[in-house]
Structure 1
Amino acid sequence: MRIPLGLRVHAGTSALLVVLTAVACLLVSGLPRMMQASFDEALRRALTTAAAVQTDLTVTGEPAAPNGDLHQRARFEDHDAQWRRLLPAALRSLIRPGGHMSAKTVRTPAAATISGAVTYINLGWLSDADRRVDWVEGREPGGPSTMVHDGATIPVVEVGVVDEAVRRMGLRIGQTRMLGSTTLTAVRIVGVFRAKDPGDRAWSHDADVPHVTWVRLPTGVEEFHTTTLMSDDGLAALTSGAHNLTYRWVLPLDGRAATALGVPDVEAAIAEFERQLAVRGTSVISHRLVTGLPKLLGDFLTALAAARTVMYLVLGGLLAVALGVIALGVRLLTDRMEHTLALARARGGSLWQVTVAGGALTALAVGPAALAGYGLSFLVPGPVPPIVHLGPVVVVVTAVSFAVVRLVLAHRTPLNERRDDVATARPSARRVTMEVMVVVLAPAGAYLLRARGLSGSAREDPFLLLIPIALTLAAALITLRCYPYPLRLLVRLAARGRAAVPFLGLTRAARARSASALPVLILLPALSVSVFAAVISDGIATTQRLASWQKVGAPIKLTSAADIPAETIERVRGTPGVERVALALTGRVRIGDTGEWPYAVAVDLAEWRRVAGDGPLDLPALSGSTSALLSPGLGARGTFEIMWLSPAKLTTQGMIDTLPGFYFSGQFLLVPREVLPWPAANTLLIKGDVAPAELARLVPAATVETQERALAAIQADPLAGTVRSTLLVVTVALGVYALVAIVLSLVVGAPERARAVSLLRTLGLSERQARRLTVLELLPLVLVTALAGLALGLGLPAALGPGVDMSSYAGGLPVGDYTPGLLTPAALAAGLTLCALAGAYAHTAIGRRRNLGAVLRVGDLT
């Protein structure tokens, strides 16, 4: 058999197979690249938006003896070069050149106080101070000197102070302050500086330098902390014996160079670098690594595991359905070659020759198409995970193997005639046993998955992938085995009527078991996975909206550090677009019996409910003017007294885990506004359509949050966007594949169906009756499979349970509401039904062009 001639003869079927293969390879190779690119983008965004103190690697050294002190910049630079040489390869590629070094003292007390407050003036040196600060008064510090104090010679260090310390701590140029408790050091203030760029990420490592820290201790004592800056020469005056001294070398991380696939290697490299630092420590100085990078990477991997789990599930379903549709196309091609190969077999061709000819024809159709789809996938930007290369290979191997197996079974003996529509072979005991095992083990596996939980992502826990496949296969087997039985009851009812069309149509549908196995195995997973994807997507969207409401607590929330004047509140009420305003006061209160200082919220709950309107918030209720709801951190207390604006006695009414818009953990309590001695408010909960900028203009010192902005921020997460967009693409693709499967099942059975309809037409069957006959033959399979697929898709989220934790994409809230709307199931069922009807009518219309006399001349009636 000449293969090119076979392609020309079966050009239409080969072209269909080419399109199906190319699209399948494009999807299975392109979607993983798109997802991996989004994973990388999510990681880079997480690393670049986090504070530098969390992402950078900071090596700290604490000298314990004088010979461990570093007094020259050159020695700091030598250590910096040493740390960079110790970096493992996975970390070295992520560390940018530059960074900075520092030496600081901590909790260095000053001799005098400010209005009874304790003052701490720490000494600090930054290697890049000339790049990060501007000297606004005085001059830059110079080298140290000495002075005599109480008969002893002590060092005098020239320092500069931040301008905020001048205002809040009374420090001035020209002052000399004595530092220390036992060993004294004098500092002379010679300049005042200000940060050049207060928003520079590097300041997160040295937040104590550009700002004064104020602390109120539980005893009521106030503390002021500031860190001064000295010159390189001032390092000579910093000794570990006189101060609590710490050295730091900051190795800045380049988050833009990170990749999701390299996260495990980076985690291992951090652990190795930490071990190397511990080994380098000595008795005179100890070194350790300080970084929040492992936690950031751990949080990212948690979110990534959920994304990969859903991606593996839906992509695995997509690949299975695509392979099934390609198998239908291969079946159509082998059916078209049936007579040619049977003739070659009858004329002495060996089974090997016939099989090779059919397999080569299939390979010639799917091979170049797979390469084309694989090549087009590289137009999708993103890294290349192994599945990009593996997917097309699986498609080609499956298509050719299916063709070879089908040809071997069909042509084992020459002229192997059979009638599948008349008698159906009884399944063997081995096949029945296997099917029963699948049906029994699939629900048992789902139960075990829910009981034991998930031990990682889908890649780490293959059990999660096997369960959906087993459930789908079990549902398909049950559908395939059971759907003829209700049809036979309908056949008996139709046999009692006088109309022949219902009886003939339902009879043909009930006898089509052998021919319908492959369409069922395609339609059911296509529908179930597409419904599963739609349900997951709807659940994420619903929970994202709930999370945004939980975060803000109202359509608009205006929060001020100080009380908002009554006239300002009235101006807000009168702003065009503002419909309702609920007043709330937040602050810390003192519990009289225990001395605890929890946070408290006093709010008008009735007005808050009216502000929330039809939002998804479940607001608490208070039954009395002295009732209180306490967080679990406070526990039940009965009656207790608080000191806020005035003393008040409260009675515990119950417990609340969170308070939407205010607090989600820790110690807090909710009280009615009647507790307040006067109507103070520092928070406004607003309902209406008003620009946040207008509210910010009315209350300049306030922060304005909106539920819409909170929702947009949650949805803007790259991983969340990728999950939802991938689910949408897969849903559409599976819907299209389901329709293609219906069309192909029509085409595969078209010759036999057309012959039967033509013969019935010669016996008086009208065109209208022929259309009804075709519809009755197709609709039962489509409807039963659609219902089974919809039911399985709706049940998969609940069955998988702990394997589909999508809280990372829903503002931290667990996605538990997997109740879909009626639109998606109705649209899928209606689409399949309409496609079946359209195919039936098209098939009947094509059949009208057949010459009925030619049917009689074939001799089928003799």
Structure 2
Amino acid sequence: MAHKPVATVAPWVRTRLRTAPGAACAVALLVLVTAFLAAALPRAVDVYETAGLRHAIDSAEPADRVVEVVTGDRYRPHEVLPDRLAQDHADILEQLPPSLRTLPADSAYGVRSTKRVEGMDTWLPKPYKTRPQLTLSSQSGIERHSTLRAGRFATKGAEPEAVVTVETAEALRIEPGAVVHVPGKNAQPVGIRITGIVEPSAPRSAYWSYEPTLRTPVYAAVPDAQGPEFYWEAALLLAPDAADTILRTTGGSDVYWRLAPASGHLTGRDVPELAAALNSLTRGPDLVRMRHMVGATTAVNSGLGDVVETFSGMRAAISPVVAVAAFGMGAVAAVVLAMTGGLFASRRYAELALLRSRGGSLSGIGVRLLGETTVTAVPAAALGLLLAVLAVDGSDSGAAGSARFLPALAAAGGVALVAVVALPLRALYLHRRPQLHGARDDLVDARPSRRRTVAELTLLVLAVGAVVALRRRGTGDAGDHLVSAAPVLVALIAALVLVRLYPLPLRWAARPAARLRGAVGYLSLARAGRSSANGALPLLALLVALTTTAFGGSVLAGVADARDRAAVLATGADARIASPVEWNPLPAGLERAVRGSAGVRDAVPVQIEYGVSLPSRVTGSVEAKNVTLVGVDPGRYARLARETDIGAFPESLLRSTGSREGGRDRVVPVIASPAVAERLGADPFGIVSVAGEFKVKVVAVRTHTPAVPDADFLLVNSADLNRAAPTALLVSARAGGLDGAALRGAVRAAGAKDFTVRLRQEQRTAYVDSPMQTGAERVYVTAIGAGAGYAGLAVLLSLVQSSPERATLLARLRTMGLNRRQGRRLLGLEALPQAVLAAAGGTLVGWATILLLAPGVDLVRLALAAAPGLTTLDHATLRADAWSLALPAAGVVLLTGAAAGLQAWWAARSGSIKELRAGDTR
């Protein structure tokens, strides 16, 4: 008997994918984009942290990053021979911790004088009859790091030989063959012949810049009662094998090894190890080993530890702020993925209900649905991970290879997990028990369960705790994720409250609408008030997105405000013209030349004298405090203070005493900083300065002033000074702004070549050159944009989920006489109330979140991380940004209206035959 062939049953997953390929592709695309963003976020953080660390080390001044090993134990000539020092250099490198690598090209070693010695020759320039002060240095590698411009390099000979740089030769009028005499230990001068003039190959390298006088002489000043006295400080570069010459002078000697650190191998994760290594090297076990190897008095000096500590503080301050955006984007993405699963579960409700009615088990249905979503979501998440790895590798920022793979894998895996389980869990929840066919599923019929109430109260407690913690502790703890999630928790609570409350105003509005002519208005409001009980997810997505966007906009606005304020504080005006040398008066005609420059509205001269001694009279302390005396024209300076909003004051406070005579007993009114005012007290107090000797009486207190915003000061009328000589110009710009090139040209043309011009706009730009800042801001902006995109997608998914029921309603109403125009109005008015309430609620919640969290969020490190310590700005807070609050909310309303209108047009175009089939109860 022949057997009948058994019918082959097509596999479930393949059948479903072939039946609805468009839906599967849409889900795959959503998962791919979400996985890419999720995987790219931790990699981007790794990249900008690594780039920021390397930038912090490379951009630090050589004196702040070079590791110097120095000893004063070697007093005999054989202990400073080049071979001995080279061997010690190699031994020191072997003792360095693995995390601390060096740049051989920038590293050096040698012998130097511990104090400067006088140049005794009469032909050396002596301004104010003060002899030049010379540093003697015998540094390795001088021939490799310089180019010979005249003469020859110094060698070991019968008499000591040295070379000087081009700048030193010009300043001290030294030519090859000249002999410079310095004091010797045996009372006999030591003559050093200058054999050549060299030009540094890399003047800004650590080799030349750790001790700048090796390269460039300094025109230094000594304060004097009659005015400052200037003298030259310079260096003579002896041959490496002539280091014993330094031992014969009165300058003392130190042997040193200067190690320039390399940063190319470091990543942001190496900070703890590097900090521990530096601590051990400067004051720990490694220092003990250095002393056994080099000398008992060996010291290891480096500012690199401070650079690393500053970077760590910057990262600790920035990370929680960035985490707020990450939590917001992640929450919105998770809600959208859950909405996608809910959409497919509702669309397939009849199919799954039929399977249940024919004996299908929950576990069997769940496994099959899990297979469907796994086949779609997992490959898409893997592709998103691959794209993130390829796109974010750090090669464009000099941090290639620093991005970790495991955090990206975990993030992409989390996205895949949510996408995989969303549909099965929602379907199992809907079909966990039999339901009546056609039963109502709206907010009127739904009643919150006890479990939901407990969950909502738990979230409320978490939100309150997060807000309180953020206000009290701030964002100092980078690992406190509860604090970073505060805006999301606040938005979540607001969404739950809005879900419970928003039908009420719609029902209230429907009552008067029932009395109006026409049924469209009443019907739309009534249906909006009876919308699906599943509307919590769209509202949650919208509120979280709007709150995160508002918070992000306030962060960016606060950062911009902080940079503007810091730039004004750093310059005191739109531009500042001053000499780097103290007590250097402005050349005659400079003020007139600057006033004639393009874009200049006013130029206010000020006289600044630093280091005025101020003993304490109030506290009884004998220790003097150095303050800055500022002489100003009260009228023009008061106007500048008002315009810049830096310590504004009425000009009448600094009314002149009428005479510059009167000796020490005349009393001059002054405006003082708080610390100085507390020190002086209320009675007149005598001071001695280069500008004059007189008594001062504090008439007002200001925290800052434009001339010296970062120092304790005494502000005085320049007409009351015995010796008035302006030293700086504070320039105000016209509406079109300053022309920096023209201004600098005017300064040079006026003969002020030694004066520098610092523009406020250039100072502001200097605050944003750190990869840590720019990377964090880029991540923040991306997260905000992604959150807004997911919010729009949530709106569309919400409308798509209810589109069949809306189309059926429209078809039935058209059989009752509803025309196409009324149908479009009905669908639009039905969709807009929820969107308007969500937009209004999101705006209100965003504004409230900013007010609640502003006291605990400090944006100084994010705004000014590139230049810490350059301004007195110590706090930068959030502020509500109107555009960030209004634009996303308006976009939600417009998108909802456009989508509803498009749906109405399509429903009218497709006809009503399909929607009115017999037995269809939709």
Q: 2:392 aligns with which of 380, 386, 403?
A: 380
Residue in structure 1 matched with residue 673 of structure 2 by the alignment: 631
Contact 1:476 1:524 in 2 (8 A): yes
Paired letter, 1:424: D
**Residue 842 to residue 271, structure 1, CA distance change in 2 (3 Å):** same
Contact 2:803 2:903 in 1 (8 A): yes
Following superposition, the deviation at residue 98 of structure 1 comes to: 6.0
**Residue 606 to residue 579, structure 1, CA distance change in 2 (3 Å):** same
Following superposition, the deviation at residue 31 of structure 1 comes to: 4.0
Unaligned runs of 5+ in 1: 146-155
Residue in structure 1 matched with residue 632 of structure 2 by the alignment: 603
Residue in structure 1 matched with residue 139 of structure 2 by the alignment: 126
Following superposition, the deviation at residue 748 of structure 1 comes to: 0.5
Deviations 1:656-680 (A, max 9, x none): 33223x3233432222333346874
Residue in structure 1 matched with residue 886 of structure 2 by the alignment: 826
Matches of 1:135 and 1:12 in 2, distance apart? 74
Match status 1:311 vs 2:322: yes
**Residue 110 to residue 297, structure 1, CA distance change in 2 (3 Å):** same
Residue in structure 2 matched with residue 659 of structure 1 by the alignment: 705
3-state secondary structure, aligned to 1:764: coil
Paired letter, 1:298: E
Q: 1:339 aligns with which of 350, 354, 357?
A: 350
Q: 1:63 aligns with which of 57, 73, 79?
A: 73
Residue in structure 1 matched with residue 685 of structure 2 by the alignment: 640
Following superposition, the deviation at residue 91 of structure 1 comes to: 1.8
3-state secondary structure, aligned to 2:733: strand
Residue in structure 1 matched with residue 474 of structure 2 by the alignment: 453
Residue in structure 2 matched with residue 148 of structure 1 by the alignment: none
Matches of 1:669 and 1:134 in 2, distance apart? 49
Q: 1:840 aligns with which of 877, 882, 900?
A: 900
Q: How does 1:544-623 map to 2 (within 5 A)?
A: 544-560=563-579, 562-588=584-610, 590=612, 598-608=627-637, 617=646, 619-622=648-651, 623=653
Residue in structure 2 matched with residue 745 of structure 1 by the alignment: 798
Match status 1:681 vs 2:726: yes
Paired letter, 1:668: F
Q: 2:553 aligns with which of 534, 548, 553?
A: 534
Q: How does 1:481-496 map to 2 (within 5 A)?
A: 481-495=500-514
Contact 1:476 1:521 in 2 (8 A): yes
**Residue 775 to residue 139, structure 1, CA distance change in 2 (3 Å):** closer
Q: 2:209 aligns with which of 204, 213, 220?
A: 204
Contact 2:36 2:384 in 1 (8 A): yes
Match status 1:7 vs 2:17: yes
Residue in structure 2 matched with residue 478 of structure 1 by the alignment: 497
Residue in structure 1 matched with residue 715 of structure 2 by the alignment: 670
Residue in structure 2 matched with residue 153 of structure 1 by the alignment: none
Residue in structure 1 matched with residue 811 of structure 2 by the alignment: 758
Matches of 1:368 and 1:592 in 2, distance apart? 74
Matches of 2:22 and 2:162 in 1, distance apart? 86
Contact 1:303 1:809 in 2 (8 A): yes
**Residue 276 to residue 507, structure 1, CA distance change in 2 (3 Å):** same
Contact 1:65 1:241 in 2 (8 A): no
Q: How does 1:268-279 map to 2 (within 5 A)?
A: 268-274=276-282, 275-279=285-289
Q: 1:368 aligns with which of 371, 376, 379?
A: 379
Matches of 2:723 and 2:87 in 1, distance apart? 64
Matches of 1:572 and 1:243 in 2, distance apart? 45
Residue in structure 2 matched with residue 407 of structure 1 by the alignment: 427
**Residue 504 to residue 223, structure 1, CA distance change in 2 (3 Å):** same
Residue in structure 2 matched with residue 149 of structure 1 by the alignment: none
3-state secondary structure, aligned to 1:424: coil
TM-score by length of 1: 0.88
**Worse overlay, 208-217 or 646-655:** 208-217
Paired letter, 2:592: E
Contact 2:835 2:893 in 1 (8 A): yes
**Worse overlay, 529-538 or 298-307:** 298-307
Contact 2:631 2:715 in 1 (8 A): yes
3-state secondary structure, aligned to 1:191: strand
**Residue 726 to residue 164, structure 1, CA distance change in 2 (3 Å):** same
Matches of 1:680 and 1:112 in 2, distance apart? 33
Following superposition, the deviation at residue 315 of structure 1 comes to: 1.6
Match status 1:806 vs 2:859: yes
Matches of 2:168 and 2:827 in 1, distance apart? 86
Following superposition, the deviation at residue 312 of structure 1 comes to: 1.5
3-state secondary structure, aligned to 1:598: strand
Paired letter, 1:173: A
Following superposition, the deviation at residue 611 of structure 1 comes to: 5.8
**Residue 221 to residue 704, structure 1, CA distance change in 2 (3 Å):** closer
3-state secondary structure, aligned to 2:800: helix
Residue in structure 1 matched with residue 739 of structure 2 by the alignment: 691
Matches of 2:771 and 2:812 in 1, distance apart? 60
The share of aligned pairs that are identical, in percent, is: 26
Matches of 1:677 and 1:512 in 2, distance apart? 83
Matches of 2:855 and 2:787 in 1, distance apart? 25
Matches of 1:273 and 1:648 in 2, distance apart? 51
Matches of 2:913 and 2:194 in 1, distance apart? 110
**Residue 85 to residue 437, structure 1, CA distance change in 2 (3 Å):** same
Following superposition, the deviation at residue 855 of structure 1 comes to: 4.8
Following superposition, the deviation at residue 529 of structure 1 comes to: 0.6
Contact 1:108 1:179 in 2 (8 A): no
Matches of 2:12 and 2:53 in 1, distance apart? 54
**Residue 232 to residue 357, structure 1, CA distance change in 2 (3 Å):** same
Q: How does 1:118-517 map to 2 (within 5 A)?
A: 123-132=136-145, 141-143=154-156, 164=168, 173-174=178-179, 176-180=181-185, 187-191=190-194, 194-197=197-200, 198-211=203-216, 214=220, 216=222, 227-236=235-244, 244-274=252-282, 275-282=285-292, 285-377=296-388, 378-382=390-394, 383-385=402-404, 386-413=406-433, 417=437, 418-421=439-442, 424-457=445-478, 460-495=479-514, 497=516, 499-517=518-536
Contact 2:466 2:483 in 1 (8 A): no
Paired letter, 1:129: I
Following superposition, the deviation at residue 596 of structure 1 comes to: 6.6
Instruction: Supply the RMSD in Å over aligned alpha carbons.
Output: 3.6
**Residue 693 to residue 36, structure 1, CA distance change in 2 (3 Å):** same
Following superposition, the deviation at residue 217 of structure 1 comes to: 7.1
Paired letter, 1:485: L
Matches of 2:716 and 2:249 in 1, distance apart? 53
Matches of 1:750 and 1:234 in 2, distance apart? 91
Matches of 1:537 and 1:619 in 2, distance apart? 28
Paired letter, 1:753: R
3-state secondary structure, aligned to 2:90: helix
Contact 2:670 2:716 in 1 (8 A): yes
Unaligned runs of 5+ in 2: 1-10, 395-401, 617-623, 656-667, 865-870
Paired letter, 1:125: S
Match status 1:791 vs 2:844: yes
TM-score by length of 2: 0.83
Contact 1:160 1:191 in 2 (8 A): yes
3-state secondary structure, aligned to 1:671: strand
Contact 2:446 2:533 in 1 (8 A): no
**Residue 564 to residue 814, structure 1, CA distance change in 2 (3 Å):** closer
**Worse overlay, 536-545 or 595-604:** 595-604
**Worse overlay, 834-843 or 796-805:** 796-805
Matches of 1:524 and 1:840 in 2, distance apart? 20
Matches of 2:546 and 2:821 in 1, distance apart? 31
Contact 1:100 1:126 in 2 (8 A): yes
**Worse overlay, 71-80 or 828-837:** 71-80
Residue in structure 1 matched with residue 6 of structure 2 by the alignment: none
**Residue 550 to residue 134, structure 1, CA distance change in 2 (3 Å):** same
